[in-house]
Amino acid sequence: MQPGKSYSKASKRTVPRSGELEAADAYISGRRETYRQVDGWINQVTRLSIWHFVDEIEDVNSVVHLKLYTALKAGKFRGESTFRTYVQRITRYTCIDQVRSQRVKREADDEDLPRPAESDRPDESLERSERDQIFVRIFRAIGSDCQRLWRMIFSESLNYKEIGEKLGMPEGTVKRRVHECKKMAIELKNKLI
């Protein structure tokens, strides 16, 4: 048996480490020192030269914090690994998603993005510009699966049934994924504003 791990003979599953769960709870509750420590673990992964991000690393880190917080609130961390390992695993997968989405970004034309009606008032123009910047940041951060769904809905004007047929999945699954993408976009928007 490895030090620091205990096993139940009946289930052969790793027993949760209470210290790791406490660290996760401290992060959720917003303890500043825990947040700084987690941010350091995230930076150890995102600052690696292998990623070649188009976006600022701080943007990627924000997406990681959002995903981590959401996963912890949903109870997905069970303490079977160290909290640091869990954080860095989420960070690596987020980095991979960001790099993959960059390919989609390069293919996306700014003209594809919806634009509000033009106005001559400078204050409305500035507000519109800020809204557009927030939309682009959210669109880039939600990942390629959500981007693809949004394009089918807004650019191709497909309904859930048509999207399901095109992707080979049930209509209910499409609805659930659209809902998840919308929820993620709202959380990102609230973080950016």
Architecture of the structural domain at 120-192: Orthogonal Bundle (1.10)
Pinpoint the residues of the chain covered by CATH 1.10.1740. Answer: 18-107
DSSP letters for the chain: --TT--B-TTT-PBPPPHHHHHHHHHHHTT-HHHHHHHHHHHHHHHTSTTS--SS-HHHHHHHHHHHHHHHHHTT---SSS-HHHHHHHHHHHHHHHHHHHHHHHHH--GGGS--PPP-S-HHHHHHHHHHHHHHHHHHHHS-HHHHHHHIIIIIS---HHHHHHHHTS-HHHHHHHHHHHHHHHHHHHHHH-
Pinpoint the residues of the chain covered by CATH 1.10.10. Answer: 120-192
Domain 18-107: state its class. Answer: mainly alpha
pLDDT truncated to tens, each residue of the chain (193 aa)?
444 444 444 444 555 677 889 999 999 988 999 999 999 999 888 887 676 665 677 778 888 888 889 899 888 998 888 999 999 999 888 888 877 776 655 554 555 555 555 555 666 666 777 777 777 777 777 888 888 888 888 777 888 888 889 889 898 888 888 888 888 888 877 777 7
